[in-house]
Structure 1
Amino acid sequence: MTDPLARRTDYRVTFLVLCVGVASFSLLQSMVNPVLPTIQAALGTDQATVTWVLTAYLVSASVFTPIIGRVGDKVGKERMLVVALAALAVGSLLAAVASTVGVMIAARAIQGIGGGVLPLTFGIIRDEFPREKVASAIGTSAALLAVGGGVGLVIAGPLVEALSYHWLFWIPMIITTLAAIGAAIWVPESPERTPGRINIGTALLLSGWLVALLVAVSQGHHWGWASPEIIGLFVAAAVLLPVWVVAEARSDQPLVDMRMMRIPTVWTVNLVALLFGMGMYSMFAFVPQFLQTPEAAGYGFGATVTQSGLLLLPQTVASFIGGVAAGRLATRVGSKALLVVGAALTAIGMFGIAFAHDELWMIVVETLFLGLAFGLAFAAMSNLVVAAVPQSQTGVASGMNTNIRTVGGAIGSALLATVVTSELQPTGLPVESGYSHGFLLLAITATAATVVAILVPVVRASTHVVPGPQAEWEAEHPEHVQA
């Protein structure tokens, strides 16, 4: 019998292309945050309007991540990977040449479509890689999301100072264009497909409650939590969410299979993702802000954007090390153990920042703990979800996990902004206790994530594997299949 994968691209080449795509998406998530005031001044807008540069990307990525993942399960993951990378490239080009804030916001919404890169990457890895390589490959690619977030904070300042903020988009455009070409040439089309059509009705319902919720939590601090607009958005989300769940449960062709979402491993890991996202994304936003606070405020270090980014470099390196090590460690101790350790280290790091932040070395050590935690936990969450679902649902399952983590980040950032700014000095800067209480809140959510992680049941990766070309290849190459 002819080897069904003999003529397929070497999985290491495929992995390189996938990592470039994931890294580009994660960079675009974080690079804009530190230089938002620069963009505001350059485009001649106000603070309330420029926040939509972040909100548009957040909302678009949250909506499209599970949808693109599901479409990839149905029509082909390689094809949709090219589409997602092309959206990142087009959005980056439009943002680089934007002369008004409206064009910039539209560009960021287009970039959000690229959120589908992550679930498509996990699905392609599961379909194409030898089984003993799957855990480490998923771990590394998942950790790149945390690594890219940290790298974005490190390079944003120097890049803007040396060139201009436009290069925050020119560079990702070049990288994602090359990645899209590489995906079209070298990434093989997935042999796994989910039959049926895309359920447009449930996709609209999913988009509706996500948009309502995320706009409310991201703009509540600016519009006022008791404003009619914010209350109306929360009410809309509260109504649309259960309607979406019921519609999916009754549908013959669900966009997100509710039976899959009820798998114990899936829903418990998703709950960890929600709690974990609250801490990680909030840390990316508020630790640099804390470091940049003038010493005249009685705390902070008066760091520049560039200096605060460099102070977080050890955290970025630790994230990468944790993600790379997670795959190998998972084969020895299991992904659940890594998830518990990652969540526990997050809690330790957050408690440390809340109570010990008087010296720079304290912040560096504490964020290093957080970086290691992010690398381990991201890899573990992705591996646990991928192993728990049928191969044909890898895209949508990992997409929803990524999405829930993003929702957690939006909620955490909104809560932290409210806590930090609840009491201001005459200069307009937050008092120190605002940061202490905010980081303490994140430490509590990380502790809750640790408890939930302990309760996550473990499913063998082989339990739900659907026979196909990969299974045939493994049968003929038992030396590559892990017992």
Structure 2
Amino acid sequence: MASETRRTHHQVTFAVLAAGVNAYALLQSLVTPVLPTIQADLHTNQNTVTWVLTAYLLSASIFTPIMGRLGDMIGKERVFVATLSALAAGSLLAALATNVQVMIIARVVQGIGGGVLPLAFGIIRDEFPREKLSGAVGAIASLSAVGAGLGIVLAGPIVHALDYHWLFWLPMILTIAAAVAAAIFVPESPVRTPGRISFLPAVLLSSWLVALLVALSQAPSWGWASGKVIGLFAAALVLAVCWVAVERAAATPLIDMSMMRRPAVWTNNLVALLFGVGMYAVFAFLPEFVQTPKSTGYGFGASITQSGLILLPMTVTMFLVGLGASGFAARVGGKTVVLLGSLVGTTSMALLAFAHTHTWELYLATAVMGVGFGLAFAAMSTLIVSAVPPEQTGVASGMNANIRTIGGSIGAALMASVVTAGPAADGLPREAGYTHGFAMLGGALLVAAFAAVLIPVGARARRVEFVHESAQEAAHGAAHAPHAAVPGGTVGRDTVTGDAVAGDRAE
């Protein structure tokens, strides 16, 4: 009865989770269009101000799996509130920052908020009715991407009406409200995974991610063939190998490597990596493309607000498609939805690469992009959550989101190298640079389509909960549901669709 009482208010729980996820997602992108403004106000240079983004990315990459693991251990609701509190504290510090060093520290603190995604997925998995699970997971996944796109759209109007400090004040207010609501309304999840956070795996994870992301973020300025970049890549590789070895030997690993090897997990993670390459590079470079002066012959001379509006169709279509993606996936299968999303996304990148003479072409391209991303993100998140045991939901979904972030850093760094190669006499990029860059992103999503083909289907691709029913209960269920009773009273039930499945537990 207690379980049913918790679940009667799942709509309120969803609203609170959505508010927290949106606050984190907004902070991913709100500062992107206004870095030059921050640079001038804090009296710093371009290389240093980029760490306002890099520090946030590094911190989120490190804390996402750690906070997910803590939630699995000590309670997802409790850690969700703590994560939102850290996000609010970082926003307060950023809003009050008077120099770039304090701003970077604030962004590191905000990065702890990366834990909201795995924790939200875990709470949904533990608390929602089975028939609502797939739709809720897909909607949260879509909202996380929509929020990131919406941040770029809102940045211009906020700065124009107020100033850039409100890019942190407003998310802070939203985050505090979400934290208070979570403490009051979100029930503590009953699922626990006893254990502890092993320091060595956490340090190694942090170290190889830092080495990798610093190399990727600095390669355009240092040079891809420079000794520092090559050295960091080598260090990242060595540290990653050591991390995997330590995790495999640990009694309580931070991330279960056997879980990461599940076909439904690693294939979706590969797709997430490639989608991250495309999405975050577009967020970073499409506004820059349309802000390029008209004197170049290809730019639109758009303002910050106008360049943000170019991405508005993507946020709208991504949100709407994400809401309906779970029902579509139930009919045609999650794998098919991810594949379709990859192909639609590839089409949108082709439009950006070869059809960008008029603004309506850009609006069309971003609208199509939202359809592709909305389909893929919603289906991937559902597949990940349904592929692992409940106690591993936080870590598995956290790593999926984390891998997408890492893909974003790779995409942004590669896009920067391609776009800035062979600049014009005035120092601005040539149109060919953007054409080649967007075509490269289209190629990444085409590879994602091939990776989607590898996602397993059928009962073995689904996480199945087995419940023991009496022969009478099984017979009653057989008469009222589209499945047969299983001799011996054991019925497998798909945790996403709610359908009963006969056979062994899917691995």
User: How far is 1:225 from its partner?
Assistant: 2.5
Question: Distance between the aligned counterparts of 1:181 and 1:150, measured in 2?
Answer: 26
Amino acid of the structure 2 residue aligned with 1:107: A
Contact kept, 8 Å, 1:384 with 1:458, in 2: the verdict is no
Partner of 1:474: none
Gaps of 5+ in 2: 469-476, 482-494, 500-507
CA contact (8 A) 2:6 2:187 kept: no
| Aligned-partner residue type, residue 257 of structure 1 | D
2:397 partner letter: S
Is 1:58 aligned to residue 74 of structure 2?
no
Amino acid paired to 1:316: T
Cα deviation, residue 41, structure 1: 0.5
Determine if the alignment matches structure 1 residue 482 to structure 2 residue 498. Answer: yes
* Structure 1 gap segments, 5+ residues each: 469-476
Q: State the alpha-carbon separation in 1 of the partners of residues 92 and 465 from structure 2.
A: 40
- In structure 1, the partner of 2:358 is 359
For residues 458 and 16 of structure 2, what CA distance do their matches in structure 1 show?
Answer: 29
Residue 97 of structure 1 aligns with which residue?
A: 96
Structure number with the bigger relative contact order (C-alpha 8 A, sep ≥ 6) is 1
Cα distance, 1:131–1:9 mapped onto 2, change above 3 Å: closer
Match of 2:240?
241
Task: Report percent identity of matched pairs.
Answer: 59
For residue 201 of structure 1, what is the aligned residue in structure 2? 200
The one-letter amino acid of 1:204's match is V
Q: Secondary structure at the match of 1:5?
A: helix
Please give the per-residue CA displacement for 1:389-416, whole angstroms capped at 9, x wherever unaligned: 0110000000111111111110111001
Of 459-468 and 399-408, the range deviating more from structure 2: 459-468
After TM superposition, the score normalised by the length of structure 1 is 0.95
Partner Cα separation in structure 1 for residue 440 and residue 7 of structure 2: 49
Structure 2 CA distance for aligned equivalents of residues 235 and 403 of structure 1: 21
Give the structure 1 partner of residue 121 of structure 2: 122
State whether residues 390 and 466 of structure 1, in contact with CA within 8 Å, keep that contact through their aligned partners in structure 2.
no
Paired residue for 2:152?
153
Indicate conservation of the 8 Å contact 2:276/2:407, yes or no. yes
Whether the 8 Å contact between 1:319 and 1:371 is mirrored in structure 2 is yes
Aligned length: 475
Name the counterpart of 2:277: 278
Contact 2:310 2:366 (C-alpha < 8 Å) held by counterparts = no
Q: Which amino acid aligns with 2:3?
A: P
Write out aligned runs for 1:147-226 (5 A). 147-226=146-225
**Is the radius of gyration larger for structure 1 or structure 2?**
2
**What secondary structure, in the 3-state scheme, does the structure 1 residue paired with 2:424 have?**
coil
For 1:57-456, list aligned pairs within 5 A: 57-456=56-455
Residues 106-139 of structure 1 show CA distances to partners (whole Å, capped at 9, x for unaligned) of 0000000000000100010010000110111011
- Report the alpha carbon displacement of residue 313 of structure 1 after superposing the two structures with TM: 1.1
Distance 1:466 1:408 in 2: 36
The letter of the residue matching 2:448 is A
Conserved in 1, the CA contact under 8 Å of 2:198 and 2:254? yes
* Maintained 8 Å contact 1:65/1:400: yes
Instruction: Compute the RMSD of aligned alpha carbons.
Output: 1.9
Shift in Å, 1:311: 2.2
1:463 corresponds in structure 2 to 463
Q: Could you tell me which amino acid in structure 2 is paired with residue 421 of structure 1?
A: T
Amino acid of the structure 1 residue aligned with 2:68: G
- One-letter identity of the residue aligned with 1:337: T
Deviations 1:187-219 (A, max 9, x none): 111111112222211111111100110111012
- Per-residue deviation, 1:462: 6.4
CA contact (8 A) 1:9 1:186 kept: no
The two structures have a TM-score, normalised by structure 2, of 0.91
Tell whether the 8 Å contact from 1:123 to 1:394 is kept in structure 2 after alignment.
yes
| Cα distance in 2 for residues equivalent to 1:19 and 1:65 | 17
Q: Mark the CA change 1:44 to 1:202 in structure 2 (over 3 Å): closer, same or farther.
A: same
Deviates more, 1:53-62 or 1:289-298: 289-298
Deviation at 1:373, TM superposition (A): 1.1
Runs of 4+ in 1 over 4 A off after TM superposition: 459-462, 477-481
Hey, what's the Cα distance between the residues in 1 that align with 2:373 and 2:2? 39
* CA displacement 1:306-332 (0-9 Å, x = unmatched): 011112211110111111111221222
C-alpha displacement of 1:15: 0.4
Q: Distance in 2 between matches of 1:6 and 1:459?
A: 33
Contact 1:56–1:109 (CA under 8 A) maintained in structure 2: yes
SS at match of 1:49: helix
Aligned to 2:502: none
My pick for the range that moved more, 224-233 or 241-250, is: 224-233
For residue 79 of structure 1, give the secondary structure of its aligned residue in structure 2: helix
Give the AA of the match of 2:309.
L
For 2:42 and 2:333, locate their aligned partners in 1 and report how far apart those are by CA, in whole Å.
49
